[in-house]
Chains A and B, each alone.
Chain A
Amino acid sequence: MGAGLAVIGAGIGIGLIGYGVAQAIARQPEAAGEIRSQTFLLAILVEGAAILLGLLSLVLG
């Protein structure tokens, strides 16, 4: 249950990042490299929170 909720949250977060990145690259294809490395950082942060919650649900459940 907790893991499912964590996955929902992370899914929405990473989905929004992907949406933003796709739009940004479509508007400015020449800046794709910089945008991609920024994306990595943001996706990592979102995923970090999700993993933390997933581990908590694994340990407590």
Chain B
Amino acid sequence: MKRVIVSEDTVDEALNKGLERLGTIKEKVDFDVLQEGEEGFLGLFGTQSARIKIKNPESKSEHAEMFLQKVVNNMASDLSVELIEENKENQKIVLNITGEDLGLVIGYRGKTLDALQYLTNLAINKGEEDYLQVVLDAEGYRARRKKTLEKLAIKMSKKAKSKGTKVKLDPMPPHERKIIHTTLQKKSGVSTHSEGQEPYRKVVIVAE
């Protein structure tokens, strides 16, 4: 993260000057006001210039963290973003969102979290070659959801076997379908495949 301190008469002027110097826009940086500008008495006594510190992300992972933090700040207060995993070999990072209004960023069956994840990946990988994959989590939501899906897979495979027919599950995004397929891969007596078009594609469990 590159940090730049800028002084001008007002906060706005300092911000504009700093953004110009960095060649970026307000929506891509974060800044702290170190000192508000004071006009003083008749512009003579006690004048004080404004000082701000601008934080400009330099790497893709910093860019991702900054983008997501700015987005969630505009969704609810008291939400923060932290980098919890960085896998340089696989070009993958995991960002975790914490705070009180977590349900709001997760959404029904993780729909909002998936949308945020998709937008974050778009924001940081604009046509560049070294693609960095960003995975979003919210206080262990992904792991909890995985457990739920594994249980569902086992339950539904038993149902398919006992009835000797096929069982269709609800539509799921690709990463959730993968959990179902993987869970049932080694189970004997059933096989799985997917049917339909995204975003309504669903897993079908067939008794063999």
Asked if chains A and B come from one complex, the reply is no
